[in-house]
Amino acid sequence: MSTMKPRMPIRRFDVFAEYNRLKGLEKGLDEAHAQGYGLWVAKVVASGGRRASAPPAAPPSKSEGGAHTVAPTKQEWHVLGVEPQTDALFEREVVRRMGPDFYARVFAPAIAEAEREGRSYESIRDSIRKSWTPER
């Protein structure tokens, strides 16, 4: 385990946002939209779903009778209230808070490894943060 520490304590919110960024990538979102998606999901869950706009509907797959088009579907930002949940917001609210070096070298790789192992968010949310968060 790395001795590098985050600038601020790592929250469950941070783990959930990153975990869902990876899920966004799996759904075919580009990196920027995956970051916005991860932040959006984390905020919706944290707020109990009260402020969410409906997620955009996924286009039907070819096996579901969807169109056989070559052009990719336009990706749009998820919105909470009137604020788009963007990659820049993810950068400010998650990455910069813990520090970009910590995010890139320790946090993101650890979450990605746990996700590759098939571990659920619930199985890692506290254990993965333990060595990064000072005890009170």
Q: How far apart are CA 59 and CA 111, in angstroms?
A: 29
Pick from 93, 121, 130, 124: which is nearest to 5 by CA? Answer: 130
Let me know the angle formed at the C-alpha of 112 by 111 and 115, rounded to the nearest 5 degrees.
85
Task: Give the amino acid at 124.
Answer: I
* Token duo for residue 47: 């707020």
Q: Please report the pLDDT score of residue 75 as a whole number.
A: 87
Print pLDDT tens along the chain (136 aa).
457 899 999 999 999 999 999 999 999 999 999 999 999 999 999 988 654 444 443 434 344 444 333 334 578 999 998 999 999 999 999 999 999 999 999 999 999 999 999 999 999 998 999 888 665 5
